[in-house]
Amino acid sequence: MGSFMENSATRFLFVYHQNRNVILNPKKIWNTFDNDSNWFLTTNKASSKKISPNNNWILKIGTKKEPDDGIYCSINRNHNTISFQTDAISGIPVFWYAQNGLIIVASDILLIIKIAKMFDVQLTPNLQSASEILISSYIFTENQTLVNNINILQPRTILSMSLNNGSTNISSLPKFFHYNESNSMNWQDAIFQMRKNLVDGLKSYKDLRVASLLSGGADSRIIATSAHESGINPDFFTFGKNATNNSDFKIANLVASALGSKTNCITTSSENFLNNWKDMASYASWSSDSIWWAARLPKDFFNELATYDIVLRGDGDGVYGWHGSAVSIEDIFHSIEIPFPEVYKKFQEFFLSNNPIDTVSTSQKRLKKQYTNYKGNLRDLKNIIYSEIREPRGIAPGIWYFSRNCYVDAPLTWKENLNIASNLPNKYREQKKIIFSILKTFPQTNTIPFSDGASWNDKLEHYSSGVWEELIDYSDKWSPWSLNKALFKETFLQPHDSSVQKSSLKSILSKLIPVSKSNYTFRKMGMFLFKQHAGTSMSERILTRVALISNLCETLQTNYKKNVESESCPSITID
Residue 244: count other Cβ atoms within 10 Å of its Cβ: 9
Chain segment 130-170, per-residue pLDDT in tens: 999 999 999 999 999 999 999 999 999 999 999 999 999 99
Chain segment 164-202, per-residue pLDDT in tens: 999 999 999 999 999 987 778 999 999 999 999 999 999
Chain segment 92-137, per-residue pLDDT in tens: 999 999 999 999 999 999 999 999 999 999 999 999 999 999 999 9
What is the Cα–Cα distance from 531 to 329, expressed in whole angstroms? 13
Which helix H or strand E contains 150, and what residues bound it? strand 150-152
> What confidence category does residue 1 fall into, taking pLDDT thresholds of 50, 70 and 90?
very low
Average pLDDT estimate for 554-570: 84
Average pLDDT estimate for 442-468: 85
pLDDT at res. 249? 87
pLDDT at res. 10? 92
Average pLDDT estimate for 377-396: 94
Residue 515 has pLDDT above 50, yes or no: no
Whole-number percent of the chain with pLDDT over 90: 69
Residue 365: count other Cβ atoms within 10 Å of its Cβ: 10
Chain segment 325-364, per-residue pLDDT in tens: 888 888 899 889 998 888 898 899 999 988 898 888 888 8
> What confidence category does residue 535 fall into, taking pLDDT thresholds of 50, 70 and 90?
confident
Peptide bond into 26 cis (omega under 30): no
Burial class (CB in 10 A: 0-12, 13-18, 19+), 353: exposed
Residue 181: count other Cβ atoms within 10 Å of its Cβ: 9
Average pLDDT estimate for 242-265: 87
Mean pLDDT across the chain: 89
| Sequential DSSP letters for 227-292 | HHHHT--PEEEEEES--SSSBHHHHHHHHHHHTT--EEEEE--HHHHHHHHHHHHHHTTT-BSTHH
pLDDT at res. 430? 92
Query: The pTM is what?
Result: 0.93
Q: Which residue has the higher pLDDT, 409 or 323?
A: 409
Which ranges constitute the DSSP H helices of 371-450?
378-385, 396-403, 415-422, 433-439
Residue 32 has pLDDT above 90, yes or no: no
pLDDT at res. 296? 94
> What confidence category does residue 496 fall into, taking pLDDT thresholds of 50, 70 and 90?
low
Chain segment 271-319, per-residue pLDDT in tens: 999 999 999 999 999 999 999 999 999 999 999 999 999 999 999 999 9
Least confident of 60-64, 456-460, 505-509: 505-509
> What confidence category does residue 575 fall into, taking pLDDT thresholds of 50, 70 and 90?
confident
Residue 66 has pLDDT above 80, yes or no: no
pLDDT at res. 525? 72
Contact present, 432 and 438 (Cβ < 8 Å): no
Average pLDDT estimate for 28-33: 86
> What confidence category does residue 37 fall into, taking pLDDT thresholds of 50, 70 and 90?
very high
What's the farthest any 2 CA atoms get from each other in the chain?
Answer: 74
11: left (phi over 0), alpha (psi -120 to 50) or beta: beta
Residue 8 has pLDDT above 90, yes or no: no
CA dihedral for 178, 179, 185, 190, sign (positive or negative): positive
> What confidence category does residue 420 fall into, taking pLDDT thresholds of 50, 70 and 90?
very high
> What confidence category does residue 68 fall into, taking pLDDT thresholds of 50, 70 and 90?
confident
Least confident of 332-336, 383-387, 515-519: 515-519
